[in-house]
Amino acid sequence: MLMTDGQGLPLSAFTTSAQDAEVNTVETLVDVTLLDKRPERLLYDKAADADWLRDALEERGIEQITPHRQSRKKPSRQDGRALRRYKHRWKVERTISWLGNCRRLLVRHEYHAHLFEGFTHWACLLLCLRWL
Indicate the class that CATH gives domain 2-131: alpha beta
Q: Using one digit for the tens of pLDDT, what is the confidence trace for 78-126?
A: 777 778 888 888 988 899 888 888 888 877 778 888 888 899 999 999 9
Q: Is the pLDDT of residue 10 over 80?
A: yes
**Percent of the chain scored above 70 by pLDDT?**
100
Nearest 5°: the CA angle 88, 3, 82 is 40
For the chain, give every domain's residue range. 2-131
